[in-house]
Structure 1
Amino acid sequence: MSSQYNPDELEALEWLNAEFFTDLLKQHENVPELIVTDLKLSPASSQGDHYASVMFRAAVEYTTLKGTFSKSLIIKTMPKQGGQKKQMLDDSHIFHTEIAMYTKVLPKFEEILRKVGDNTRLCVPCVYHSLEPRQVMVFDDLVPQGYQVIRERSATIDEIHAALEKLAKWHAVSQKLLKDQPELFHKLQYNLSTLPNFLNKSFLTNALPNFIYMLNERESLQKYKKYFDSMRKDLIQKWADSLGEYHKNPRDSSLYVLCHGDFHIRNLMFKDNSCMFIDFQLSHVGPLVNDFLYAMYMFFGPEERGSRRDELITYYLQAFVDTLQKIGSQAKTPSFEEFQSQLIDNKYNEFMLLTTFLPIQIAFRKNAIDPLRRRTNMYNDKDYQEEVEYLLNRMHQLGYFKEV
Structure 2
Amino acid sequence: MSENKLFPATCKISRGQIDDNMASEGDSRDDVRKSSAADDGIRLITEDLFHDILNQQFGKCTIKKFTVANSTITGENFACSMYRVTIDFQMEDGTDNSVKYIIKMMPLNDPNAQMKKSLGIFTKEVEMYEKIVPKFEEIFQENGIETAFVPKCWKVVDNPEMLIMEDLGARKFTNVDRLNGMDMEHVKMVLSKLAQFHAASVCVLEKNGPFSKQIMSSLFDDESCNFFRALQPIVWGNIVKNLRLWKTCQEYVDRIEGMIDRIFDLHKEAYDPNPDEFNVILHGDLWTNNIMFQHDENGHPKDILFVDLQIARYGSPVHDLIYFIFSSTEYSIKVKEFDYMIKCYHRELVKNLKLLKYPKSLPTLIDLQIAVLKKCFLGIAVSCGVMAIALLDPNENANMENFLKDDEAGSKFKQDMYLNPRFIKSCELIFPFLENKGAFDV
Q: Normalising TM by the smaller chain, what interval?
A: 0.7 to 0.9
> How many matched pairs?
387
Instruction: Assess if the C-alpha contact under 8 Å between 2:76 and 2:289 holds in 1.
Output: yes
Is 1:352 aligned to 2:386, yes or no? no
Any idea what SS the aligned residue of 1:385 has? helix
Which digits, 9 at most, give the CA deviation of each residue in 1:314-363, with x for residues without a partner? 11111101101111113333333322211121133222112333222211
* Aligned twin of 1:17: 46
Instruction: Assess if the C-alpha contact under 8 Å between 1:190 and 1:282 holds in 2.
Output: no
Instruction: Assess if the C-alpha contact under 8 Å between 1:191 and 1:261 holds in 2.
Output: no
Is 1:228 aligned to 2:256, yes or no? yes
* Aligned twin of 1:158: 185
Any idea what SS the aligned residue of 1:231 has? helix
* Aligned twin of 1:209: 237
Q: Distance in 2 between matches of 1:135 and 1:22?
A: 19
Instruction: Assess if the C-alpha contact under 8 Å between 2:151 and 2:168 holds in 1.
Output: yes
Q: Distance in 2 between matches of 1:124 and 1:83?
A: 26
* Aligned twin of 2:313: 284
Q: Distance in 1 between matches of 2:268 and 2:146?
A: 35
CA, structure 1 residues 227+34, in 2 after alignment: closer, same or farther (shift >3 Å)?
Answer: same
* Aligned twin of 2:289: 266
CA, structure 1 residues 90+355, in 2 after alignment: closer, same or farther (shift >3 Å)?
Answer: closer
Give 1:269's aligned amino acid: M
Instruction: Assess if the C-alpha contact under 8 Å between 2:326 and 2:387 holds in 1.
Output: yes
Instruction: Assess if the C-alpha contact under 8 Å between 1:185 and 1:285 holds in 2.
Output: no
Is 1:93 aligned to 2:132, yes or no? no
Q: Please identify, of 16-25 and 35-44, the stretch whose mean Cα deviation from structure 2 is larger.
A: 16-25
Give the counterpart of 1:304 among 333, 347, 356.
333
User: What is the CA distance between 1:23 and its match in structure 2?
Assistant: 4.3
CA, structure 1 residues 23+368, in 2 after alignment: closer, same or farther (shift >3 Å)?
Answer: same
Instruction: Assess if the C-alpha contact under 8 Å between 2:58 and 2:91 holds in 1.
Output: no
Give 1:332's aligned amino acid: S
Any idea what SS the aligned residue of 1:233 has? helix
Q: Distance in 2 between matches of 1:400 and 1:241?
A: 13
CA, structure 1 residues 320+136, in 2 after alignment: closer, same or farther (shift >3 Å)?
Answer: same
Give the counterpart of 1:130 among 136, 139, 157.
157
Q: Distance in 1 between matches of 2:266 and 2:294?
A: 37
What are the within-5 Å matches in structure 2 for residues 230-245 of structure 1?
Answer: 230-243=258-271, 245=272
Give 1:375's aligned amino acid: K
Which digits, 9 at most, give the CA deviation of each residue in 1:368-394, with x for residues without a partner? 443543323433333333332322222
CA, structure 1 residues 362+191, in 2 after alignment: closer, same or farther (shift >3 Å)?
Answer: farther
Give 1:380's aligned amino acid: L
Instruction: Assess if the C-alpha contact under 8 Å between 1:215 and 1:224 holds in 2.
Output: no
Q: Please identify, of 320-329 and 208-217, the stretch whose mean Cα deviation from structure 2 is larger.
A: 208-217
Q: Structure 2-normalised TM-score?
A: 0.79
Give 2:62's aligned amino acid: I
Give the counterpart of 1:71 among 82, 99, 110.
99
Give the counterpart of 1:59 among 58, 81, 86.
86
Q: Distance in 2 between matches of 1:156 and 1:9?
A: 35
User: What is the CA distance between 1:160 and its match in structure 2?
Assistant: 1.4
Instruction: Assess if the C-alpha contact under 8 Å between 2:101 and 2:164 holds in 1.
Output: yes
Give 1:329's aligned amino acid: Y
Instruction: Assess if the C-alpha contact under 8 Å between 1:235 and 1:348 holds in 2.
Output: no
Instruction: Assess if the C-alpha contact under 8 Å between 2:86 and 2:99 holds in 1.
Output: yes
* Aligned twin of 2:422: 383
* Aligned twin of 2:69: 42
CA, structure 1 residues 85+218, in 2 after alignment: closer, same or farther (shift >3 Å)?
Answer: closer
Q: Distance in 2 between matches of 1:221 and 1:186?
A: 41
User: What is the CA distance between 1:143 and its match in structure 2?
Assistant: 0.0
Q: Distance in 2 between matches of 1:88 and 1:44?
A: 24
* Aligned twin of 2:397: 370
CA, structure 1 residues 237+50, in 2 after alignment: closer, same or farther (shift >3 Å)?
Answer: farther
Q: Distance in 2 between matches of 1:209 and 1:330?
A: 46
Q: Please identify, of 337-346 and 190-199, the stretch whose mean Cα deviation from structure 2 is larger.
A: 190-199
* Aligned twin of 2:138: 111
Q: Distance in 1 between matches of 2:262 and 2:323?
A: 20
Give 1:265's aligned amino acid: T
Q: Distance in 2 between matches of 1:187 and 1:219?
A: 43
Instruction: Assess if the C-alpha contact under 8 Å between 1:34 and 1:62 holds in 2.
Output: yes
Q: Distance in 1 between matches of 2:167 and 2:266?
A: 38
Instruction: Assess if the C-alpha contact under 8 Å between 2:379 and 2:434 holds in 1.
Output: no
Give 1:327's aligned amino acid: L
Which digits, 9 at most, give the CA deviation of each residue in 1:102-149, with x for residues without a partner? 121111111111222222211111111232x43221111110111012
Q: Distance in 2 between matches of 1:339 and 1:322?
A: 15
Q: Distance in 2 between matches of 1:37 and 1:30?
A: 15
Which digits, 9 at most, give the CA deviation of each residue in 1:249-300, with x for residues without a partner? x341x21000001111111111111211111121111112111111123222
Q: Distance in 2 between matches of 1:124 and 1:216?
A: 42
Which digits, 9 at most, give the CA deviation of each residue in 1:146-205, with x for residues without a partner? 101233432222111111110011111112222332233544146665696863797x54
Instruction: Assess if the C-alpha contact under 8 Å between 1:191 and 1:283 holds in 2.
Output: no
Any idea what SS the aligned residue of 2:97 has? strand
Instruction: Assess if the C-alpha contact under 8 Å between 1:9 and 1:56 holds in 2.
Output: no
* Aligned twin of 1:102: 129
Identical-pair percentage: 20
Structure 2: gaps spanning 5 or more residues: 1-30, 296-300, 404-409
Structure 1: gaps spanning 5 or more residues: none
Q: Structure 1-normalised TM-score?
A: 0.85
Give the counterpart of 2:367 among 338, 341, 344.
338
Instruction: Assess if the C-alpha contact under 8 Å between 1:159 and 1:275 holds in 2.
Output: no
